A and B are shown apart, each in its own frame.
Chain A
Amino acid sequence: MPTTFRIKRFNPESESPQPYFQEYELETEQSDTVLDALIKIRESVDESLALRCSCRGAICGSCGMRINGHATLACKTKVVSLESPDGTVQVEPMNNMPVIKDLVTDMGGFWDKIRQVQPWLQPAGPKPDAEYIASPESMKHLTGVMGCIMCGACVSDCAALEVDHQFIGPAALAKAYRFVADPRDGASDSRLLALNTPGGMWDCTRCMECIEVCPKEVGAMDRIMDLRAKGIDHGIPSTCGSRHAEVFADLIEHKGRLDEPLLAMRTFGLKNIGQMLSFLPMTLRALVRGKLPRSGPLHRAIPGIDRIRRLFRHTRNLP
């Protein structure tokens, strides 16, 4: 069947190096992946099309690109599985990284951030006679995160990276978790401290894009949440990020509900009073507009609060 591929092209060596879309009409088979189609285009229609691929079996992670608006592996995406209103398949290079040419991106920044989390085991204590041993049970929860093939799909679609390239990003944070949660590693505290800084684990906006686009079900955002929980457990110095989670939990325990003003005040703390005060004009405008909470100005506790408090207490007694 004929399919139209709308491919984003970019050639830095052209006279006017601006990205543009080019359409190709191609006969595709039922079994064709997007990668098959792109290779056909390159081999039989336009040899100037640049793309990167290797294994063709969703193992090497080379053919990450955006297909119909989301990052994925071209070799894992069947053309027939794609839906679009006008029947075209749109293919673009990955986002949040520089484009070298057409669909080929520069992964240099990606690898720099992976290196930043020191992705190797750092055991503590005396060296064993043979290898460092971990039981299969103690490693089982890490099989998902160890399945990462470093394709960059999560980084491409990360909403926090889109507005701040300093953010370390989901792939590096998932890799950090892989070592923080490894029972043989002895550097968890220093790893968590390093991530408890601007651009670190608290700068994820919890949008779940990385979970959706990952071809290997690494669940990067869930691992970032695990890192945050471990950070709080390990007693890392409090930041606006950790206080936000702690205060939120405390408010639910005492009121059963969110209390937005109190959450903001306690999250910012005295240290960040300037930031707190910067919300004053908005708060005043809201009050003038009659945005008064229905649960009372001080957000009364919900009627069933005693049971909610007891549920918190029961949970604390769990192993």
Chain B
Amino acid sequence: MKYAFFPGCVSKGGCPELYQSVMQVYPQLGIELEEMTTASCTGAGVLQEKDLRLGDILNAHTLALAEQQGLPIMTICSTCQGVMSQANHRLKSNPEYLAEINRVLAEEGITYRGTTRVKHFIWILLEDIGEETILQHVKRPLTGLRAAPFYGCYLQRPREALGFDETPSRAKSLETVIDLLGAEVVDFPGKTRCCGLPLLTINQPNSLKMVAHHTSDAKEYGADLMVTPCPLCHLNLDGLQSKAAKQNGMEIDLPILHLPQLLGLAMGLEPKGLGLSRNLVATESVLEKIGIRV
């Protein structure tokens, strides 16, 4: 199984520990990655506020690069996945629009034929690698650990572009993975809600209210940690958690793990290699709970 790897800006920027943990886990899972170094940012839905067509042109360019490689794309970010899925959906479902976008790509001598599939790492885990293989790799079951899932909007909505109709199991992918790794799923109402990051520089108090609300809620439901497949959510839920707690007069301290970090722990990998010391909310309580000496 080989994929064109689209790491996304944040795994190369604000969350380097995500990239680090993916590099640790993927070689053991029987997949090969070829990193897309010349692909641009998806626009993250922000560029699309200004110019949706420009966003679709940039994403069509990325999709065309993978098409030339003859590979499906693997993402590790809910936002990258969602934005590219939406662009791909618009392009594939409207031949006239695809032709219009291709006229721009033609200036660079490239064409997108509409054949590229884009999959988040979590979907690859469940749909391509398979539950049985994942179980074989679980060397350190996370027994006794209570993990709250947090998806990120773009991995939940809109359902049509994300292929939920064809693959309904995607709606609960995070719960499935947590369960496979031996941890207990903490189901809480905020798991599919917004982390607040898009508002951080626009309306900081509202953004931080969302962080405080979801992290404290998960903790009240009994979570030892929260796990997310979205580094943008991680930036807010982990990076801004102490600021959010202060603003809202709370004490929270809920460790937020990237999905490959939790997977890596269950695979028996060392916390340091998974970049856990780079998370801003200390993760020692999680490690202690699964018997790793800190």
Contact = CB atoms under 8 A, between A and B. Distances in A.
Interface stretch (B24-32, B54-62, B121-129, B134-142): B54-62
Contact of A244 (B10, B14, B202): B202
B2 interface: no
Q: Which among B13, B157, B205 has the highest number of chain A CB atoms within 10 Å?
A: B13
Contacts of B45: 206
Nearest to B19: A294
B48 interface: yes
Contact of B41 (A164, A245, A257): A257
A89 interface: no
Interface stretch (A57-65, A96-104, A282-290): A282-290
A159 interface: yes
Nearest to B171: A83
Given A264-B201, A315-B53, A315-B57, A208 B38 contact: no
B239 A293 contact: no
Contact of B201 (A207, A240, A302): A240
A207 B194 CA distance: 6
B230 to A, nearest CB: 12
Contact of A314 (B38, B51, B104, B158): B104
B40 A160 contact: no
Contacts of A271: none
Contacts of B57: 311, 314-315
A69 B187 CA distance: 13
Nearest to A309: B40
A205 B158 contact: no
B258 to A, nearest CB: 13
B12 A293 contact: yes
Given A257-B41, A304-B38, A289 B280 contact: yes
Contacts of B48: 225
B58 A308 contact: yes
Interface size class of A (residues with CB under 8 A): 35 or more
Q: In terms of DSSP, what is the predominant structure of the interface of chain B?
A: helix
Given A208-B158, A245-B50, A310 B107 contact: yes
Nearest to B168: A83
B89 to A, nearest CB: 13
B213 interface: yes
Interface string B44-86: 1111111111100110010000000000000000000000000
Interface in B185-239: 189, 193-194, 196, 198-199, 201-207, 209-210, 213, 235, 239
A257 to B, nearest CB: 5
A286 B280 contact: yes
A189 interface: no
A177 interface: no
Interface string A152-196: 000000011011100100000000000000000000000000000
A198 interface: yes
A31 B104 CA distance: 50
B108 interface: yes
Contact of A211 (B13, B157, B279): B157
A259 B277 CA distance: 23
B16 interface: yes
B290 interface: no
B216 to A, nearest CB: 13
A308 B158 CA distance: 27
Contacts of B287: none
9 contacts: A205-B206, A206-B198, A212-B157, A232-B50, A240-B201, A260-B10, A275-B204, A289-B277, A293-B16
Interface of A: 69, 159-160, 162-164, 167, 198, 202-203, 205-209, 211-212, 225, 228-229, 232, 239-241, 244-246, 248-249, 251-252, 256-260, 263-264, 267-268, 275, 278, 281-282, 285-286, 289-295, 299, 302-304, 307-308, 310-312, 314-315, 318
